[in-house]
């Protein structure tokens, strides 16, 4: 894929996630349905953290695409590849697959019907569906250098345990 199309993809994905995160931030202070954001606000939800992670990754990818010179050896490119392969892809896939599996089993466990009055259906899909094609698009658009499996799993384990302890 050409560098221009790759840059357009990364900038578009970053803009989308920035829009969604901004929309969710604008909801702060509105009358909330009972039971959501009681402790920890949106920061306790892996879905929200995933949106921030995706936005950060695609922002780094866009900056990397726009920087002149040899990108393959740059530190930014190595961090971008690490962020994608260890966090953005696995966490993004986990959020989508786990959410829709539990939603199909019993919606009230993950997204009660009372939330529909607060979040319109499109924001539910923005948080839990669109992540999948965007992340899979990244796999097709950009070749990545992957870290050693043991290092990747160790980093993912540390972040997973940190989230669980929170």
Q: How many residues does the chain have?
A: 166
CA 34, CA 25: separation in Å to the nearest integer?
A: 18
SS3 89: helix
Q: What pLDDT, on a 0 to 100 scale, did the predictor assign at position 91?
A: 94
Full-model pTM: 0.90
The packing angle between helices 46-66 and 131-141, to 10°, is 30
pLDDT at position 144 is 87
CA distance 110 to 146: 32
**pLDDT of 128:** 95
Q: Tell me the mean pLDDT per 10 residues along the chain, length 166.
A: 88 97 82 67 86 96 86 82 93 96 94 86 94 96 88 88 84
Eight-state DSSP code of residue 39 = S
Return the pLDDT at 52. Answer: 96
Report how far residue 102's alpha carbon sits from residue 31's, in angstroms, rounded to the nearest whole number.
26
pLDDT of residue 163: 84
State CA 77 to chain mean position distance: 18
């Amino acid at each position: 894929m050409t560098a221009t199309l790759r840059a357009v993809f990364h900038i578009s994905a970053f803009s989308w996630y920035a829009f969604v995160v901004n929309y969710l931030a604008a909801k702060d202070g509105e009358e909330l349905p009972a039971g959501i954001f009681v402790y920890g606000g949106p920061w306790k939800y892996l879905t929200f953290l995933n949106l921030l992670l995706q936005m950060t990754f695609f922002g780094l990818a866009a900056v990397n695409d726009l920087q002149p010179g040899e990108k393959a050896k740059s530190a930014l490119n190595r961090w971008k590849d690490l962020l994608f392969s260890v966090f953005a892809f696995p966490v993004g896939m986990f959020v989508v697959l786990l959410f829709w599996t539990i939603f199909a089993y019993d919606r009230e466990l993950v997204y009660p019907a009372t939330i529909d009055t607060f979040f319109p259906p499109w924001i539910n899909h923005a948080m839990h569906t669109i992540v999948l094609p965007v992340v899979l698009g990244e796999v097709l658009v950009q070749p990545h250098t992957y870290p050693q499996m043991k290092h990747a799993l160790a980093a993912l384990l540390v972040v997973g345990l940190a989230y669980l302890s929170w």
